[in-house]
Structure 1
Amino acid sequence: MGQKTNEFCYESFAQSIFVIYFLVLYFYLDYSFSKREKLSSFRINPAKVGDLMMDFAAESRIKEARTLIEQGSIGQGLRKFNTLMASFPQDSRVQLHYALALDQQGMEVEAIPHYQKALQLGMRTEDVRVALICLASSYRNVGRHDAALETIERAVEKYKNDAVVQCFYSLILLDNGQSARAVGMLGHLLLQEAAPQKFTGFEQALHNKFDDFKIHRLPSE
């Protein structure tokens, strides 16, 4: 009886050791797999590194071209932008900044296609705002009033409380024979942006007067 008890205890002990070993092995392998899986998520993607390097190169060369123009080397700066266009034809920032450079030199006709291309390629929100305002202004300056109105209304829909957008909108409305709407928009903008105390006692009356123009609502409202 004692011998059988000892054998039973030995078998139980052996089984326990086996179970413990199996559990340790299981958790070790599970941990190792999870760790490798997590580490794999931090692997460097060569394609992304390449894109970042190209972004940095483009940004650096844009700054060089802009600096040349700001320092008076306009021809050299524009030539550098031309080279950039060939190197980064699908970079919206290059398109936008080249358009801005041309615009600053009074070359609106040449700038317009680059604003259009920049918007087509897609940009961050602030760059979209700049491109829409400047494209609308360029259309206005070359006498394309319908295109200017359509473009600035796109900006109004996206940035309806933006004072700069509203100012350009009023100018383009004026060009399109909508002087009442232009005056009303500027009046509401003045009431919105100026210090309230400047209109003490008259603010509501002025709002009502500008409301008479029926233009204080933006296209998206």
Structure 2
Amino acid sequence: MLGLEREAVPYYEKSLTLGLSTEQRVGALLGLGSTYRTLGEYENSKAILEQAIQEYPENKEFPVFLAMTLHNLGDHSLAMGMLLKLLAETSADEGIRSYSKAISYYSDKLGQVWD
């Protein structure tokens, strides 16, 4: 957030080799994945964020940041699908909740056309 993304990378990388608390590790993984994305290092971002999702599948922030990275990589359908599924799972909005099954169902069928 200070515009020192490139300088932050080695600190994130080093911190992840140390014994961090869960909260600190979550923050470091998100910070590094997001920082790689802002630097245009999309494959590194994707790898870190996918690792984070494997380690912490209950943390919904990781798929959001991964969706941004996938968008940058040109995988728009997968990114949109991830966000739609997450919206259906987590929204408190009554309108979204009433259509959550349909939103989830169509999340990976965005290009499909039915006759």
TM-score, normalising length from structure 2?
Answer: 0.87
Which of 128, 134, 138 in structure 1 is aligned with 2:31? 134
User: Are residue 195 (structure 1) and residue 76 (structure 2) matched?
Assistant: no
Which of 98, 101, 109 in structure 2 is aligned with 1:204? 101
Which of 62, 77, 97 in structure 2 is aligned with 1:165? 62
CA contact (8 A) 2:88 2:97 kept: no
Distance in 2, Cα, partners of 1:196 & 1:110:
40
Change over 3 Å in CA distance of 1:200–1:152 after alignment to 2 = closer
Change over 3 Å in CA distance of 1:200–1:119 after alignment to 2 = closer
Distance in 1, Cα, partners of 2:23 & 2:103:
32
Q: Aligned residues, how many?
A: 110
Distance in 1, Cα, partners of 2:98 & 2:88:
13
Write the letter of the residue equivalent to 2:9: I
Give the structure 1 partner of residue 53 of structure 2. Answer: 156
Percent identity over paired residues: 31
Two-structure CA RMSD over aligned residues (Å)? 1.6
Write the letter of the residue equivalent to 2:102: A
Unmatched segments (≥5 aa) in structure 1? 1-103, 214-221
CA contact (8 A) 1:160 1:166 kept: no
4+ residue segments displaced more than 6 Å: none
Write the letter of the residue equivalent to 1:122: G
Give the structure 1 partner of residue 113 of structure 2. Answer: none
TM-score, normalising length from structure 1?
Answer: 0.47
Write the letter of the residue equivalent to 1:154: Q
Distance in 1, Cα, partners of 2:73 & 2:20:
29
Unmatched segments (≥5 aa) in structure 2? 111-115
1:86-128 deviation per Cα after TM superposition (whole angstroms, max 9, x unaligned):
xxxxxxxxxxxxxxxxxx3111111000100001122111111
Which of 175, 181, 203 in structure 1 is aligned with 2:78? 181
Write the letter of the residue equivalent to 2:29: L
1:151-173 deviation per Cα after TM superposition (whole angstroms, max 9, x unaligned):
11111111123121111011011
Q: CA deviation at 1:200?
A: 5.7
Change over 3 Å in CA distance of 1:196–1:107 after alignment to 2 = closer
Q: CA deviation at 1:207?
A: 1.8
Give the structure 2 partner of residue 67 of structure 1. Answer: none
* Higher gyration radius (CA): 1
Distance in 2, Cα, partners of 1:199 & 1:128:
32
Distance in 2, Cα, partners of 1:114 & 1:200:
41
SS of equivalent residue, structure 2 residue 107: helix
